[in-house]
Amino acid sequence: MEEDHLHNEDENIQENSKSETITRVTGMFKDWFLDYASYVILERAVPAIEDGFKPVQRRIMQSMKDLDDGRYNKVANIVGHTMQYHPHGDASIADAMVQIGQKDLLIDTQGNWGNILTGDSAAASRYIEARLSKFAIDVVFNPKITQWQSSYDGRRKEPVNLPVMFPLLLAQGGEGIAVGLSTKILPHNFIELIDASIKHLKGNKFTIYPDFPTAGIIDITDYKDGLRGGKVRVRAKISQLDKNTLVITEIPFSTNTSSLIDSILKANEKGKIKVRKIEDNTAAKVEILVHLPSGISPDKTIDALYAFTNCEVSISPLGCVIEDNKPLFVGVTEMLRHSTDNTVQLLKQNLELKLDEFEEQWHFASLERIFIENRIYRDIEEEETWEGVVNAIDAGLQPHIKHLKRAITTEDIERLTEIRIKRISKFDIDKAQQKIDALEEQIAQVKHDLAHLIDYAIAYFTRLKNEYGKGRERLSEIRLFDDVDASKVVIRNTKLYVNKAEGFIGTSLKRDEYVCDCSDIDDIIVFTRDGKMMVTKVDAKTFVGKDIINVEVFNRKDKRTIYNMVYRDGAKGPSYVKRFSVMGVTRDREYDLTNGNKGSTVWYFSSNPNGEAEVITIFLRQVGSVKKLKWDLDFADILIKGRNSKGNVVTKHAIRKIELKERGISTLKPRKIWYDDAVQRLNADGRGELIGEFRGEDRLLIINQSGIVKTILPELTSRFDDDMIVLEKWIPKKPISAIYFDGEKERYYVKRFLIEQEGKEELFISDHPKSRLEIISTDWKPIAEVEFTKERGKDRKDNWEVNLEEFISIKGITALGNQLTRDKVNQISLLEPLPYEVPEELPAEEIEVVDEDDISEVETPKVSKSNLDEDSDDNSDDDEQVEENGQGRLF
């Protein structure tokens, strides 16, 4: 009935519209597509959890085992042999084999197998050769415990799964795209996998993380055990070769030097970074030289490379394997547990097989000894039939077989009849007994191993680690990453212009007034004469409102930029003064900074990047009985509030003009800077160790173990070398004390010096290859202790305490210094310094400062009893929170 109904419906449709023909393929789609999807999932793309191989990989390994004679085989021959198990395409088999070979674990390669670092492909399969590695022979194959199945044409037997006794899938990684699902299992470290397997066998917890053959630096914070939704951030290893050259020595996994260089060149073309030249010197190891134009900051360029190129990539793992012919989504921890448990079971099967073999050998050796020692072979001389021979031997053995472990079979007797006369004549009873004793020891050992299977498995993994772990140490460095703010590291690749009268800003207004250099991802903040404010994206030409009074690049996280403003409320209302910061706003939304009355106008406006507070002079119009027509206003007396604050009344009378009398200094507290050792970066968020409080030109002092000292401004984009031993706020008058070993003179020297050239790297020890820095101190009065080497036949000299301040005066940074001692030194160490009272630095001008976190205070003091009235506004700044509308993105 249902089929008739569908048939009638089809006829109606064709009658109503002859131009449309509907063909129903529901059944066809349901059956054929499901079969196809199942085939791709199970037989092509996804590896099995039992051995970690996809079917084509398993067939390649079995073919290599079939052909293995210790010599190299042409890959083309192996490919052809593999096709006997399944008609894969020869190109796909060769590609799969090259991928296995490049992982340098199972295949011993010879010839050009390509380069994972440069992306170069392998030579043709007829030119390259391969054989199984010793590791593969050891852990992958064991025909006696392998389950077999017929090949596609029934002519051969192929393994269902290979008896892999190692977490191979996690060591090599795996990737595949099937129908409706995919898998991406990242490679892990060989040694760490073995250690984790041992921990699992001992009942301890373990954690494993990826390790990539291309090395690099990885952040595994969101790895999530390799499950769906996790990610691993991978960065290239970039260091500064000199002030104009960066060197990339390690690259992210899934990239190569060619794709990496292409991404750098594209970022350079788009103006995100500035690069003069790139050299690729990669051979066995990665070496990419990035030459920078003079004047470009290497630290910012490194961050920009991470932000805009493939020097940082994010890899999303997805643990999907085949178990019992079904897809299984599982984390790497469970994969390792499953592999380790499977290895234990395979080891058990192998031991049980050995036990059967040893017991069988013991049984026949015992029978042979009885047969020859008791001359039972003479009992068959007069027998004329085979049955009589068998019965005679059986009868002769019966008195001597009580100690045997199983009954004698016809097969046992047949084997006895096959013993040659020559062997009987040379039979040595003592040697036979020794062989039996040795077999009994082997049987006892196997039984012991079976009884202590976990200990046996731990010993097995330990052996693998000792035999194959050398040279397989971790390549990828695990480290927490700081997030790179693209807006802070992008190169200013365009120029911003403004037409103040008409109200246009943009990068194409080249005939109008130049504002500043900017990047194409910057936001621009604009203030107009009528007290309006807007934040908008950089574009070629944008209308923001007529009569612009200030335009600049906007940073939404900037708490230190303070705007000072005097405005008139309405056409004839009183004038107000206010100081405010701008942080959370909605792009392309217009904000009113006045009280909102029509006719409001701004008398005075200034933008202050460090919270400066200037002094202005206010002039009134001479109207009526106004006596005081001029006075000064100091913005330092005005509390910083939110942008919606109404402000304090300056005057109710008409203002004629306002002039700047005196430029101000910052009213914000010095900025606190911390150093987070986990990510090796500076921050202003309180993470890590507090370095100090920094004003405008305060600098950081950096000293490396290599004897290099420099001072830098505390920019949050600064990067630091791994051998940094001193990082602190630099006090210019505070001397630096050092004891170093001079490689040329082979003596220890002491020196004290001041840094005279800010921002310049200087070597303060001799440049001899054997010279080394022993101790460094930035204390005012350091004390060192010298321990001397004991000379033969003499008593050891007492330790010597050296007051470095008294030992040597302050000299130039390039001075050799004074020789510490002529005696041989065993060790030099720093003791507690002498007490010293640091002189307090008095500020140039006594001024009340404001903490950045207290900018939105509610209370507002009176500025002047005679000229300013107390603000009546409640200072509610509801726009500081993130807002949403249809005009632009939120920030």
pLDDT, tens only, 515-534: 988 888 889 999 999 999 99
User: Which of the residue ranges 18-22, 117-121, 652-656, 657-661 would you say has the lowest mean pLDDT?
Assistant: 18-22
8: confidence class by pLDDT, cuts 50, 70, 90: very low
Note the pLDDT of residue 251: 95
Note the pLDDT of residue 883: 34
User: Which of the residue ranges 61-70, 93-102, 279-288, 400-409 would you say has the lowest mean pLDDT?
Assistant: 400-409
**615, HSE (Cβ side, Cα atoms, 13 Å):** 5
1: confidence class by pLDDT, cuts 50, 70, 90: very low
Mean pLDDT across the stretch 630-644?
90
Note the pLDDT of residue 794: 80
Strands (E), 431-503: 477-478, 494-499
d(CA 513, CA 505): 9
d(CA 109, CA 115): 13
677 versus 562: the higher-pLDDT residue is: 562
Has residue 95 got a pLDDT over 90? yes
Note the pLDDT of residue 473: 94
23: confidence class by pLDDT, cuts 50, 70, 90: low
Closest CA to 772 of 682, 706, 843: 706
d(CA 235, CA 252): 5
Note the pLDDT of residue 863: 41
Has residue 856 got a pLDDT over 50? no
d(CA 26, CA 248): 56
User: Which of the residue ranges 14-18, 185-189, 738-742 would you say has the lowest mean pLDDT?
Assistant: 14-18
Has residue 369 got a pLDDT over 90? no
Note the pLDDT of residue 483: 76
869: confidence class by pLDDT, cuts 50, 70, 90: very low
Which of these is catalytic: 36, 39, 127, 836? Answer: 127
Q: What is the DSSP string of 690-744?
A: EEEEE-TT--EEEEETTSEEEEE---TT----TTEEEEEE--TTS-EEEEEEETT
Q: Above pLDDT 90, what percent of the chain? A: 53
Amino acid at 725: I
Mean pLDDT across the stretch 364-368?
84
The CB density around residue 614, as the number of other CB atoms within 10 Å, is 18
pLDDT, tens only, 32-83: 777 777 878 888 889 999 999 999 999 999 999 999 999 999 999 999 999 9
Catalytic status, residue 748: no
Tracing tokens 């409001």 back to the chain, one arrives at: 600
Has residue 25 got a pLDDT over 70? no
Has residue 30 got a pLDDT over 80? no
633: confidence class by pLDDT, cuts 50, 70, 90: very high
Phi, psi (rounded to 5 degrees) for 876: -80, 120
Has residue 544 got a pLDDT over 50? yes
CA torsion, ordered 336, 340, 346, 352, to nearest 10 deg: -170
User: Which of the residue ranges 568-577, 589-598, 610-619, 792-801 would you say has the lowest mean pLDDT?
Assistant: 792-801
24: confidence class by pLDDT, cuts 50, 70, 90: low
Sheet holding 548-554, edge to edge: 548-554, 523-528, 532-537, 590-592
What sign for the dihedral angle of Cα 591, 593, 598, 603?
Answer: negative
Has residue 137 got a pLDDT over 70? yes
Mean pLDDT across the stretch 125-130?
94
pLDDT, tens only, 380-435: 777 778 888 888 887 888 887 878 888 888 888 888 887 888 877 777 787 888 88
160: confidence class by pLDDT, cuts 50, 70, 90: very high
Helices (H), 17-163: 26-28, 34-40, 55-67, 75-82, 90-102, 134-139
Closest CA to 579 of 668, 689, 670: 668
9: confidence class by pLDDT, cuts 50, 70, 90: very low
- Residues in contact with 151: Cβ distance below 8 Å, sequence separation at least 6, in sequence order: 84, 85, 86, 157, 158
187: confidence class by pLDDT, cuts 50, 70, 90: very high
Q: What is the pTM of this model?
A: 0.75
Note the pLDDT of residue 20: 64
Note the pLDDT of residue 28: 58
CA torsion, ordered 775, 778, 784, 790, to nearest 10 deg: 0
Amino acid at 504: F
Q: Please, what is the average pLDDT of the chain?
A: 85
In the chain, how many H helices and how many E strands?
19, 48
d(CA 662, CA 616): 7
Rg of the chain over CA atoms, in angstroms? 41
Mean pLDDT across the stretch 735-739?
93
Has residue 865 got a pLDDT over 90? no
pLDDT, tens only, 684-729: 878 888 998 887 778 899 999 999 999 988 888 788 888 899 999 9
